[in-house]
Amino acid sequence: MRLWATRTVLAMALVAGVALAPAPAGGGRGGRVSTGFERRGGTVWTTVAEERDYLRDLVAAAPGPERAGWGAARVTVTRVGTSARGRAVDLITVAGTRSVPEPVRVLFVCGQHGDEPAGREACLKLVRDLAADRSPAGRRLLERVTVLVLATPNPDGSAAGTRATAEGVDLNRDHVAVGSPEARAIRRVLREARPHIVHDLHEFTVPADTAAPPALYLWPRNLNVAPELRSLSIELARDRIGTALPAAGWAAGVYGEDGTARQLGGDGDERLLRNAAALDHAVAVLVEVGTRPVSALERADPGLLGRRRVAAHLVAAQATLRMAAERGDAITAAVRTSRERAERGGEVVYFDGADNVPAGRGAVGPMPCAYRLTPDLYASARAALAEHGVRVQPDLRVPTAQPAGVMAALLLDPRARFAVAMATTEPCAGTSAPHADAL
């Protein structure tokens, strides 16, 4: 029997605040604010309607430190978009009433795939627990860290229990073209809130005979990611989350190196959120929790299985918050350095490959100084360029010396895998435009 199978019950007991029995119902005034998942002991996930009521009660219960029983936190809920079927995409913010000059902004994206509900449940619980924490450690955390949560970025998929959006879009493959309203909502948060850390929560299912641990993690593998951001992302994934999960009782491994038959989504694909967020100058991490029972007890008790999946995500989220609080200066400095380097313009751009797979022939070359668009090409690319904050000059010249310069290349270069328009490259002075066969 695997180690993590024998330690499941112990791990559940060690995770603070994770109910092992149904939680009592409660409202915003004096009672415990609880999710539908908690009230049912983990046997049924929180519905979209229950989430709406939960957030309403949470905001009413925790407007600030003046409410007895709650911590020194402000909780706000802001609509940042709507789904294809008109459901709200809400951003939850938990912030201290006092903060350092530049708090680390941590964004949790909790359910891009609607059939992966444990991350969403973990995020809903995390928000409440942070808001209610009156301990000195909790107050210090929220002085240093602002927590941003997209609990349900794919509300149609969550309501239907489907991976894709109502339009059939895999949201975690739409962070370049940003064609779906749900991807545009996430992009709006990235563009306007500028999180320093992006933590993406998912679940995975593999055959019973596959030797995959019950939790996996990964950093951005795209070769265009700034080295200082990649280094901190690896520290977060491997040293922090990869240590916290085993300490809580679950083995953990690197996604794509987990014994599965094929690597799925563990590469440098810029459409994936962990890569796209890092290209937008953030430390980023992916956490996947297994949905398959790891013990006879979990096979017999769906509630125990559900609570374990949520608990594992909570352990990983708490590890991210600890690193944000302890390594804030290094994180904000790395983000600032990455943006400043992009403003000066890159030397090389990669259109393929990953940090564990060399770029193929023709997939790497000098970064052009700019791209030239025709009116027709601009019309086709305008929406995506705007979503990524790419600056376009009045003459339709797109300089690459800007924070979104790499994304401009990935959107417009003829060599890019997922380009939305094939623009003309403008080489820098003293260089010539590279021919694909020569790269």
* Predicted confidence (pLDDT) per residue in 131-147, tens digit: 999 899 999 999 999 99
The burial class, CB within 10 Å (0-12 / 13-18 / 19+), for 170 is middle
Q: Write down the mean pLDDT value for the chain.
A: 88
| Domain ranges within the chain, ordered by starting residue | 3-335, 346-438
Single-letter amino acid, residue 143:
E
| Predicted pLDDT at 27 | 44
What number is the average pLDDT over the span 169-194? 98
Q: Is pLDDT at 247 greater than 80 in this prediction?
A: yes
Q: Is pLDDT at 438 greater than 70 in this prediction?
A: no
User: Which percentage of the chain shows pLDDT scores above 90?
Assistant: 75
Please state, in angstroms and rounded to a whole number, the distance separating the CA atoms of residues 134 and 96.
11
Please state, in angstroms and rounded to a whole number, the distance separating the CA atoms of residues 204 and 209.
14
**Buried/exposed code over 109-122 (b: 16+ C-beta within 10 A; e: otherwise):** bbbbbbbbbbbbbb
Least confident residue range of 150-164, 231-245, 352-366:
352-366
* pLDDT tens track for 190-204: 999 999 999 999 999
| pLDDT tier at 12, thresholds 50, 70, 90 | very low
| pLDDT tier at 431, thresholds 50, 70, 90 | low
The burial class, CB within 10 Å (0-12 / 13-18 / 19+), for 77 is middle
Residue 429 vs residue 294, higher pLDDT: 294
With CA atoms as reference, report the closest residue to 184 among 271, 81, 315: 81
Those residues whose C-beta lies under 8 Å from the C-beta of residue 296, and which sit 6 or more positions away, are: none
Q: Is pLDDT at 262 greater than 60 in this prediction?
A: no
What number is the average pLDDT over the span 305-318? 98
Q: Is pLDDT at 433 greater than 90 in this prediction?
A: no
Q: Is pLDDT at 31 greater than 60 in this prediction?
A: no
**How many alpha carbons lie under 13 Å from residue 127 in its C-beta half-sphere?**
33
Angle at 346 between CA 190 and CA 335, to 5 degrees: 40
Please state, in angstroms and rounded to a whole number, the distance separating the CA atoms of residues 340 and 215.
35
Q: Is pLDDT at 6 greater than 60 in this prediction?
A: no
Most confident stretch, 23-32, 255-264, 329-338? 329-338
What number is the average pLDDT over the span 407-416? 97
Q: Is pLDDT at 8 greater than 50 in this prediction?
A: no
Task: Give Cα separations from 421 to 69, 375, 418 (angstroms).
Answer: 55, 11, 9
The burial class, CB within 10 Å (0-12 / 13-18 / 19+), for 191 is middle
192 sits in which H/E element: helix 181-193
| Predicted pLDDT at 259 | 53
| Predicted pLDDT at 63 | 55
| Predicted pLDDT at 16 | 36
pTM: 0.91
Question: How many other C-beta atoms are found inside a 10 Å radius of the C-beta of residue 437?
Answer: 7
| pLDDT tier at 309, thresholds 50, 70, 90 | very high
- Radius of gyration over alpha carbons of the chain, in Å? 22
* pLDDT tens track for 205-214: 876 667 789 9
| Predicted pLDDT at 265 | 65
Please state, in angstroms and rounded to a whole number, the distance separating the CA atoms of residues 252 and 416.
34
| Predicted pLDDT at 32 | 75
| pLDDT tier at 243, thresholds 50, 70, 90 | very high
Q: Which fold has domain 3-335?
A: Aminopeptidase (3.40.630)
Provide the terminal-to-terminal Cα distance of the chain, rounded to the nearest Å: 51
| pLDDT tier at 258, thresholds 50, 70, 90 | low
Q: Indicate the angle between helix axes 118-132 and 302-326, nearest 10 degrees.
A: 50
- Given strand 424-426, what is the order of strands in its sheet? 397-399, 370-372, 424-426
| Predicted pLDDT at 436 | 34
Q: Where are the alpha helices (DSSP H) in 62-178?
A: 118-132, 136-144, 155-160
| Predicted pLDDT at 437 | 34
Residue 26 vs residue 251, higher pLDDT: 251
* pLDDT tens track for 394-406: 999 999 999 999 9
What number is the average pLDDT over the span 51-78? 77
Residue 154 vs residue 71, higher pLDDT: 154
Q: Which two tokens stand for residue 97?
A: 């009433």
Q: How many residues would you count in the chain? A: 439
Do the beta carbons of residue 280 and residue 190 sit within 8 Å? yes
Do the beta carbons of residue 34 and residue 333 sit within 8 Å? no
Q: Is pLDDT at 61 greater than 50 in this prediction?
A: yes
Single-letter amino acid, residue 379:
A
- The three state secondary structure string of 252-302 is EEECCCCCCCCCCCCCCCCCCHHHHHHHCCCEEEEEEEECCCCCHHHHHCH
With CA atoms as reference, report the closest residue to 355 among 198, 190, 226: 226
Least confident residue range of 65-74, 78-87, 121-130, 212-221:
65-74
38 sits in which H/E element: helix 36-39
Residue 60 vs residue 245, higher pLDDT: 245
Those residues whose C-beta lies under 8 Å from the C-beta of residue 343, and which sit 6 or more positions away, are: 401, 402, 403
What number is the average pLDDT over the span 368-373? 98
Residue 428 vs residue 84, higher pLDDT: 84
- The three state secondary structure string of 345-391 is CCCEEECCCECCECCCCCCEEECCCEEECCHHHHHHHHHHHHHCCCC
| Predicted pLDDT at 3 | 37
Q: Which two tokens stand for residue 154?
A: 């794919």
Do the beta carbons of residue 125 and residue 54 sit within 8 Å? no
Q: Is pLDDT at 80 greater than 70 in this prediction?
A: yes
| Predicted pLDDT at 430 | 60
Please state, in angstroms and rounded to a whole number, the distance separating the CA atoms of residues 347 and 335.
19
